[in-house]
Chain A
Amino acid sequence: MSLPNYTSLNYRIWHYTYLTICGLVFFFLIAPLFVILPLSFNAEQYIHFSEKMIALDPEGFSLRWYKDMIYGTKNPWGLAAKNSIIIAFFATIGATVLGTVAALGLSSRHMPYKAAFMALLILPLIVPLIISGVAIFFFMAKVGLAATHTGIIIAHIILGTPFVVITVTATLTGFDHSVTRAAASLGSNPVNTFMKITLPLILPGVISGALFAFVTSFDEVVVVLFLAGLDNTTIPIQMWVGLREQLSPTILAVATCLIVMSILILVSAELLRRRSERLRGINR
């Protein structure tokens, strides 16, 4: 951002101060994440930048914590990862299907009490997680689903649907309804119209909603803390347990893996967003 040369000195000073402040804020946002990366390759047992690490001596670095994560004795991470993936997979499917269908209804011109329904459907997003956790725990205990995968999956569907509803209704605001009418006038039934016309057009919104639902489930710890038994431990639960006991380098190795995963998710979410913006641009 270069300034035109007629700007006053005061303005220049102000401008560069502003850029510096922004730089510091960006640093504050992103730097903490990247402290973990080098420390997870630490050869020593302490979570501390050793002198060898600072001197970039190869001996200061090792993969031992990654080995410990995968092959360590009484290692909880394998089971946790498996559970996390199973739960997140089914919760994503459930939340996406329910949320997309509801968003279609909500976006309809003919939907009565639209605002009230919308407020109700995104309630799980507004209610603090701890309260959702308490309430869902009582319910699951009552119906005998506490400490089961099914119970946790249902809980995560509840928490994931608001994201799907929000992203899909947002996509549908720019949706040209004459294309579905055209399909209907050409003899297509509603299901067929949805599968062949509507869904491909709103797919970016659906997928980004699904990504939100997946991350919500994969990252969720508060509700699972109430619901999970020993067999349903997930990655966030294991991290929580580990962090409560002691900050160990193995946790940092796991954290690094999760950061890599979130980079992948971020990239796909960004690509989807751009594609959706492009598609909506064409519709207009």
Chain B
Amino acid sequence: MAPSGAPALECRDVSVSYGPVAALSGVSLRLAPGLIHAVCGQNGAGKTTFARVASGLVRPNRGALFISGQEVATGNVARARAAGVELVHQSFALPPSFTVAEAMEFGAEKGTPIYSRRGLEARWKQHLENLGVRVRLRDRIRDLAVEQQQGVEIARALVAEASVLILDEPTAVLSPTGVEMLFDRLRNLKAGGVTILLILHKIREVLGVADTVTVLRGGKLVEGPLPAGDTTPQLRLAHAIVGSAAEQALSGADEAALTGAEGRDLGASVEPVASVPATPAGPVALEIAGASTRADPEGPALADIDLAVGRSEIVGVAGVEGNGQRTLVRMLANLADLQSGRIALAGTDVTRGALAARRGAGLRIIPFERNTEGLSLASSLWENWSARQLLFGPLLKLISPAAWRRDCDLSLKQWDVRYATTTQPAGSLSGGNAQKLILAREVDADASLIIAAQPTRGLDVGATAFVWKSLRAARERGCGVLLISSDLDELFDISDRLIVMLSGRIVAEFRPPYSLSAVGAAMTGAR
């Protein structure tokens, strides 16, 4: 695998469209063997589609794929795998009920027709050890920590002597130390001759590990491959990723936050936050005292949570995913099993209150999962929009749908949602517009506390800026905001205060200017 001759992976004029949306248009790219390549871009830039085309999961409408100089039929995973290309997915693609050994076996090419459990474990033990993945082969995938799952997924991808390994957003679920470990692992693989293609959106991480960098925007290749390193002009990359800064009307800090460009550690580009009172005055929007829950299906138990969110305050919640953020939101929505402690909303005790009562006290939730917890995609816009208010009225009184549709129309216009009619299904909206629909429902004059869980995940730059603007506006109106995000740049940019969760506890609290290294250490429990 010497870096000579044919490129390890080459795409020629690849175009993909999903329905009317072009995800990739005319992308041509040659990746030299034996190096770590990065492809960057915003959400929706076509990075994941590119990775899936290269690995055969998506058949492009047009274009050709060459692996080590040989043309490979597109849209055929088996062929791409036979040619040595393996893909590690953003959200891991292993059946949760499988054991580690079974997860290794189900994608393997060769082996005995009938195995025994012990034989299977013996077969894969060495392979995992060689890659430095420390897990027990009998453990089920669903019981592994995310870092371990990723390790298993990478090991799975390397079962069949891959020559090209593609990783789609591998750092999204990792803590800063986890990211460093991953990068070490990738450098080892590179030393072993594997060509690596990383799909990333943070410039800082790209420059830390990659040899070349390529930028996609709006499905087109706009920059690269450039050699990556200390000499690469970061601002040029940042502009390539988000497009013209003037067009997007972003502040410098927001743009830096969006691209993850350098400068966080110094706190230099953080906007000075308007004087936030050290202890919020008046009845606080949310007060949690000594709250503990049972373990929840969606996360660990919470232990002894004390948290107050003042009126006119945005409190950020940082933490590696799966450390109790979901349990926290579910506890506030009365969906997790609260064992002890007290919860008060705007001065009203709601410890035993049902979610309906809590919503009556001003609780509003922008949930983690927009398409399942937030909206009913098959239902119309007006039904989605009116659900919250309809639940407060009598169920059997006659209503006028026409009047609700009119109100919905007015509200959605105010929130700048792009749609044709209020009777179209919510599933026909783009991600950004769907999120705006949720905002239009949840952010009203009676709101006293807004929980925003990953409110910008998967949104494009414009929609992200809109969500931030809305949350800031809610703060100005006297609303408390609890922002849960796995994007530290986002949290640093708009939080007035930042707490860090680890294993169901709040382990640290920060005020601006934030230090990436300090917050990162708190997230992993390092002292």
Q: Do A and B bind each other?
A: no
Which B residues are within 8 Å of any A CB, using their own CB? Answer: none
